[in-house]
C-alpha cells in the first residue's frame, strides 16, 4: 500500500463497537467491493468497501469478514477470509495477503482461505437467530448495477428463506460517524496532501493553461505524496463554468480575467479530503471578484465556527443561509425590501446559493449520516459556502474540512485562502 501501516487496534476497536450493537445469537457478514469491469480484459482500479476497510483494514479484493460474537466456539466468533494465493497468481498480479498478513493487518485471530467460506457460512447460519447483511444505503446514491452485496442477499434469502435478516447499514452508520483519533490523523494527512497540490497550482495557473493541465498538476502532487489519487472526480472550472456545481469536463482554456474554481481532495488510506478554492486566472482579483470572494470567505469563517455538538446540518444550514442572504444584499443582488416581499417557498438567496453548506466526511467524501443527526464531538464535516452569479460569470466556492468540537478544528487552516495571500503566491 502507498500509505503507512495502520495499527490494527483501530480495527479491533471498530469491531467491538459493532459487536455491542448486534442482537444475541446474531451473525453479521461484511463483503468486499466488486472488481468492476472497465472494457476488454480490464477492470477499474480496485477500491475496498468502506465498511469492510473500517472493520478490518484489509485493502485487497476478495476478503470477507464474519462476526458471530455469541458463538460457543471462540474461533468462530470473528473470521476473516482471504483469497488463497498461488505461484501463477503472484506471477501475474503480484503479492497477496498470506493468512498471517491478513491477521496482522486486521487484528482478527481466525483467518481462513476464501475457499472455506461457503462451508463455514452454512455452519454459522445453522446457529444464527439473526443475520445482519449490508448494502450501500447512502440516500444520495442509486445505480442500475447490482452489487456483490445485493447478489449475496438474494442468494442467502433463497438458500435460507426461514432466517431472520436485518439491516447492518444503520449500525455501521452509527459507529462510523464519530472518528477515532487515528482516523482524524489519516484525514489530516489527506488534507495536507491536498494543500500541497493547491500550492503547486498557485505557481502554475496563468492565462492560456487548460483546465486538464491544472488537474494534472493536482494529480501529480497527490500521487507523489502517497495518496491513491482523487477522493472524487475533481472539478476544475473556469469562466462561466464556475457556476456549474458538478462540472468536471475540465477541458476549457483558462482565460485572462476569469476565475478558476477548483473542488478537489486527496484520498489517503481510503480517507478523503475535500477542498474548494477559487483563484483569479491572471493572478489578480478584479474589484468585483474580490468583493464577492470576501463575502464568501466571511460566510466560511462564521459557518465553520457553528459546527459544534448538538446542532444538526439542517439547523446549521438554515442559519448559514441567513448569513448568505445578508451578504447578497451587501453585494447589491437584491434588497431588504425584496426579501420582505419574497415567496417564502422560493427565497431570493436560492438563485445564488442553491446547495448545502456541509456533509459528513470520512471513508467516503459524502460519508454516512443524515441531516437531522445531532452533531457530536469527533464528527468531521465539510464547510463549503458559495455565491454564484451567472450573469456576471462569477462563481466562488470556498471549502474546508472541520472536526466538530466546542472549538471546531479546521483541518485545512494551513491551505491558503486569504485573497492577498493567493495573489502574492501567484505573483512569485
Regarding whether 286 and 168 lie in a shared domain, the answer is no
C-alpha 316 chain-centroid distance: 20
The whole-number average pLDDT for the span 164-186 is: 98
Dump pLDDT digits (tens) for 198-223. Answer: 999 999 999 999 999 999 999 999 99
Which pLDDT band holds residue 178 (cuts at 50, 70, 90)? very high
Is 297's pLDDT higher than 90?
A: yes
Asked if residue 1 is part of any domain, the answer here is no
Regarding whether 188 and 167 lie in a shared domain, the answer is no
Regarding whether 206 and 145 lie in a shared domain, the answer is no
Asked if residue 136 is part of any domain, the answer here is yes
Dihedral in degrees, nearest 10, Cα atoms 133, 138, 143, 146: -10
Asked if residue 16 is part of any domain, the answer here is yes
What pLDDT score does 140 carry?
Answer: 80
Dump pLDDT digits (tens) for 40-69. Answer: 999 999 999 999 999 999 999 999 999 999
Contact 148, 33 (CB under 8 A): yes
CA atoms within 13 A on the CB side of 247: 20
- Out of 177, 201, 232, pick the residue that ends a domain: 177
Structure-model confidence comparison of residues 233 and 136, the more confident one: 233
| CA-based nearest residue to 405, from 381, 383, 385, 377 | 377
Domain of 152 in residue numbering reads as: 9-177
Structure-model confidence comparison of residues 261 and 428, the more confident one: 261
Is 169's pLDDT higher than 90?
A: yes
Q: Can you give the length of the chain in residues?
A: 428
Asked if residue 2 is part of any domain, the answer here is no
- Out of 135, 162, 177, pick the residue that ends a domain: 177
Dump pLDDT digits (tens) for 357-371. Answer: 999 999 999 999 999
Catalytic residue ranges:
41, 246, 263, 274, 355, 359, 366, 384, 388, 397, 399
Dump pLDDT digits (tens) for 143-160. Answer: 888 899 999 999 999 999
Exposure of 203 by Cβ count < 10 A (0-12 exposed, 13-18 middle, 19+ buried)?
exposed
Give me the number of domains the chain comprises.
2
Which pLDDT band holds residue 21 (cuts at 50, 70, 90)? very high
CA atoms within 13 A on the CB side of 8: 12
Is 87's pLDDT higher than 90?
A: no
Helix (H) or strand (E) holding 173: helix 169-177
Regarding whether 90 and 154 lie in a shared domain, the answer is yes
Asked if residue 401 is part of any domain, the answer here is yes
d(CA 61, CA 54): 15
Regarding whether 292 and 378 lie in a shared domain, the answer is yes
Amino acid at each position: 500500500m502507498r500509505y503507512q501501516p495502520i495499527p490494527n487496534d483501530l480495527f479491533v476497536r471498530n469491531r467491538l463497537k459493532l459487536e455491542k450493537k448486534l442482537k444475541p445469537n446474531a451473525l453479521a457478514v461484511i463483503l468486499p467491493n466488486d472488481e468492476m469491469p472497465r472494457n476488454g480484459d480490464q477492470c477499474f482500479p480496485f477500491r475496498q468497501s468502506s465498511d469492510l476497510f473500517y472493520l478490518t483494514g484489509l485493502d485487497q479484493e476478495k476478503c470477507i469478514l464474519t462476526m458471530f460474537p455469541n458463538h460457543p466456539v471462540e474461533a468462530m466468533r470473528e473470521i476473516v477470509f482471504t483469497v488463497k494465493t498461488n505461484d501463477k497468481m503472484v506471477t501475474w498480479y503480484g503479492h497477496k495477503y498470506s493468512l498471517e498478513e491478513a491477521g496482522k493487518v486486521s487484528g482478527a485471530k481466525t483467518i481462513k482461505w476464501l475457499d472455506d467460506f461457503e462451508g463455514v457460512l452454512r455452519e454459522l447460519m445453522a446457529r444464527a437467530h439473526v443475520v445482519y447483511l449490508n448494502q450501500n444505503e447512502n440516500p444520495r446514491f442509486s445505480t442500475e448495477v447490482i452489487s456483490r452485496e445485493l447478489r449475496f442477499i438474494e442468494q442467502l434469502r433463497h438458500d435460507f428463506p426461514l432466517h431472520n435478516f436485518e439491516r447492518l447499514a444503520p449500525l455501521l452508520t452509527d459507529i462510523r460517524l464519530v472518528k477515532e483519533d487515528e482516523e482524524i490523523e489519516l484525514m489530516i494527512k489527506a488534507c495536507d496532501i491536498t494543500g500541497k497540490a493547491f500550492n503547486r497550482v498557485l505557481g502554475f495557473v496563468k492565462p492560456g493553461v487548460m483546465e486538464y493541465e491544472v488537474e494534472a498538476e493536482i494529480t501529480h502532487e497527490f500521487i507523489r505524496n502517497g495518496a491513491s489519487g482523487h477522493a472524487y472526480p475533481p472539478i476544475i472550472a473556469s469562466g462561466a463554468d464556475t457556476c456549474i456545481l458538478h462540472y468536471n469536463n475540465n477541458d476549457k482554456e483558462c482565460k485572462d480575467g476569469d476565475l478558476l474554481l477548483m473542488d478537489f481532495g486527496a484520498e489517503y488510506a481510503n480517507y478523503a479530503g475535500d477542498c474548494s478554492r477559487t483563484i483569479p486566472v491572471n493572478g489578480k482579483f478584479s474589484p468585483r471578484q474580490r468583493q464577492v470572494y470576501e463575502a464568501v470567505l466571511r460566510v466560511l469563517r462564521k459557518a465553520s465556527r457553528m459546527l459544534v455538538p448538538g446542532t444538526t446540518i439542517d439547523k446549521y444550514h438554515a442559519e448559514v443561509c441567513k448569513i448568505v442572504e445578508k451578504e447578497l444584499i451587501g453585494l447589491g443582488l437584491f434588497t431588504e425590501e425584496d426579501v420582505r416581499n419574497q415567496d417564502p417557498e422560493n427565497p431570493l438567496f436560492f438563485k445564488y446559493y442553491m446547495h448545502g453548506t456541509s456533509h459528513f466526511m470520512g471513508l467516503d467524501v459524502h460519508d454516512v449520516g443524515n441531516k437531522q443527526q445531532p452533531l457530536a464531538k469527533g464528527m468531521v464535516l465539510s464547510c463549503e459556502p458559495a455565491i454564484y452569479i451567472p450573469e456576471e460569470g462569477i462563481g466562488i466556492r470556498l471549502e474546508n474540512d472541520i472536526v466538530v468540537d466546542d472549538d471546531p478544528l479546521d483541518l485545512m487552516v494551513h491551505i491558503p485562502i486569504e485573497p492577498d495571500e493567493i495573489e502574492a503566491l501567484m505573483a512569485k
